[in-house]
Amino acid sequence: MEFDTIAAISTPLGEGAIGIVRITGPDAIKIADDIFQSPSGKTLMEVNSHTIHYGFIIDKRENKKIEEVMVSIMKGPKTFTREDVVEINCHGGLLSVNRVLQLVLTKGARIAEPGEFTKRAFVNGRIDLSQAEAVMDLIRAKTDRAMNVALGQMEGRLSKKIRKLRQEILEVLAQVEVNIDYPEYDDVEEMTHTLLQEKAKYVKNEIEKLLETSKQGKILREGLATVIIGRPNVGKSSLLNSFVHENKAIVTDIPGTTRDVIEEYVNVRGVPLRLVDTAGIRETEDIVERIGVERSRKVLKEADLILFVVNYNEEITEEDRKLFETIKGMDAIIIINKLDLPQKLDIEEIKKLAEGRTIIYASMKDDKGMDELEQAISSMYFKGEIETSDLTYVSNARHIALLNNAMQMIDEALFGVESGVPIDIVQIDMTKSWETLGEITGDSVHDELINQLFSQFCLGK
């Protein structure tokens, strides 16, 4: 396939003062050479691949130095896009990076669409679809742990598992085909059934295992939706502040989200907490008051974790009991706060209301209980320490949906085998699940989907 040359500003992960203009395509090096001047007078057209060069970006029309830069020259196919790639590292602020990009565009490059670099890597066969999506996840990764999952996926761990499953299905389909072609043996029909049943069960089990990781995967990717509740004055804001101050706040504001619920991210021992509706707690002290009963019910319903604060220094009220009723069946940790004050709370009743959930004794005033709380959260979601490096977490919503679909078809195939449905019908279900799994890796996927997927990427990746 023939491509034109595209360019975009691509700021490295972790940000910093450096801005990068990235160019890919057949004219990438020529365009860079056109605007580059080295103190030694060398030309970029003649340098070796994968080398870095110091010099200046020059606007030759005005013979003006625009920016002091380091230019990386990487010749295809050993590059991310498999094409010639040039990266111009600018040290100035955003303004000068923009000026360099503008200059590159006047030399014939086109501004890249969102995700177009990654799309090229995919189309040129450098990475598969789930790896491409991992690039996007990486950009959005909230903690180191989430980063590892995305990295693992980028290295193709999920793809490898999916391909193996597809291979298994294909083998059994081939075997069934052979059995159908040679029906002279008496027990062929039974053999075929047994074979299909065993294989379908195996595939189903493997898909189930992958889906089980998706809960953790989702948490790593999106953060654990956490809501702090409790009556006024029990210490909700104080708890929130402890979280935000003791833990590095990861993201305070996510561009592009249009939710009217304010969120704050904190990293609790590798678990990214998305503290939802903290503004409600800060400003009006009361979620219900601020966003209304319906909305707050919805926020509560969508929460992964409830932090329920009660006051050691007050008796239990009807409102407390109502709140316990509201969060029935949900993951929650009960925090008994103000332990520094005299006891008025009936702990035995709290234990009953907590229904076996963890209770933390705390005093936000004396900085007591936060360690225990963080430990509780961490062991709740990652059973202590999980080594993410050798686990495949499925964390992408599209992958989860496809795995669920594939599972449904396998279920139908299984049901078919067990209830004596003709083999060719069962075969169709197996084939469908094979195709569905292929959509995860992009081995069977439509152009339209690809375009839509890549348009979600950040610009410059």
In the complex, which residues of this chain contact Zn ion (CB under 5 A)? 237, 285
**Whole-angstrom distance, CA of residue 64 vs CA of residue 105:** 17
Q: Does 280 bind ligand GDP (CB under 6 A)?
A: no
Please give the structure tokens belonging to residue 73. Answer: 């020259």
Binding-residue total with ligand GDP (CB under 6 A): 17
Q: Does 310 bind ligand GDP (CB under 6 A)?
A: no
Rounded least distance, CB 284 to Zn ion, Å:
9
Per DSSP, the three-state class of 194 is: helix
Q: Does 319 bind ligand GDP (CB under 6 A)?
A: no
Task: Determine whether 235 is exposed, middle or buried from the number of CB atoms within 10 Å of its CB (0-12, 13-18, 19+).
Answer: buried
User: Locate tokens 């949900």: which residue?
Assistant: 330
Please pick, from the candidates 24, 179, 363, 441, the single residue that binds ligand GDP as defined by CB under 6 A: 363
Binding at 183: pick from ligand GDP, Zn ion, none (beta carbon under 5-8 Å per type): none
Q: Does 279 bind ligand GDP (CB under 6 A)?
A: no
Q: Does 19 bind ligand GDP (CB under 6 A)?
A: no
Binding at 230: pick from Zn ion, ligand GDP, none (beta carbon under 5-8 Å per type): ligand GDP
Q: Does 236 bind ligand GDP (CB under 6 A)?
A: yes
**Whole-angstrom distance, CA of residue 229 vs CA of residue 308:** 5
Number of H helices, E strands in the chain: 16, 13
Q: Does 285 bind ligand GDP (CB under 6 A)?
A: yes
Binding at 11: pick from Zn ion, ligand GDP, none (beta carbon under 5-8 Å per type): none
Cα dihedral across residues 43, 45, 48, 53: positive or negative: positive
User: Locate tokens 């709740």: which residue?
Assistant: 380
Per DSSP, the three-state class of 288 is: helix
Q: Does 10 bind ligand GDP (CB under 6 A)?
A: no
Q: Closer to ligand GDP at the Cβ: 159 or 278?
A: 278
Please give the structure tokens belonging to residue 228. Answer: 């702090």
Residue 359: phi and psi, rounded to 5, are -115, 130
Segment interacting with ligand GDP (CB under 6 A) among 157-165, 197-205, 225-233, 351-359: 225-233
Q: What is the DSSP string of 326-380?
A: HTTTS-EEEEEE-TTSPP-S-HHHHHHHHTT--EEE-BTTTTBSHHHHHHHHHHH
Binding at 337: pick from ligand GDP, Zn ion, none (beta carbon under 5-8 Å per type): ligand GDP
Q: Does 235 bind ligand GDP (CB under 6 A)?
A: yes
Segment interacting with ligand GDP (CB under 6 A) among 60-68, 183-191, 296-304, 361-369: 361-369
Rounded least distance, CB 262 to ligand GDP, Å:
15
Q: Does 379 bind ligand GDP (CB under 6 A)?
A: no
Which regions of 25-109 does DSSP assign to beta strands (E)?
A: 36-37, 51-59, 64-74, 85-90
Please give the structure tokens belonging to residue 371. Answer: 């360690």
Q: Closer to ligand GDP at the Cβ: 308 or 381?
A: 308
How many other CB atoms are there within 10 angstroms of residue 202's CB atom?
Answer: 15
Q: Alpha helices, DSSP H only, in 68-156?
A: 94-106, 116-123, 129-140, 144-154
Please pick, from the candidates 237, 358, 379, 431, the single residue that binds ligand GDP as defined by CB under 6 A: 237
Residue numbers in the known binding site are 22, 87, 126, 233-238, 252-258, 277-280, 461
Please pick, from the candidates 94, 232, 248, 452, the single residue that binds ligand GDP as defined by CB under 6 A: 232
Which residues form the interface with ligand GDP (CB under 6 A)? 230, 232-238, 281, 285, 337-338, 340-341, 363-365
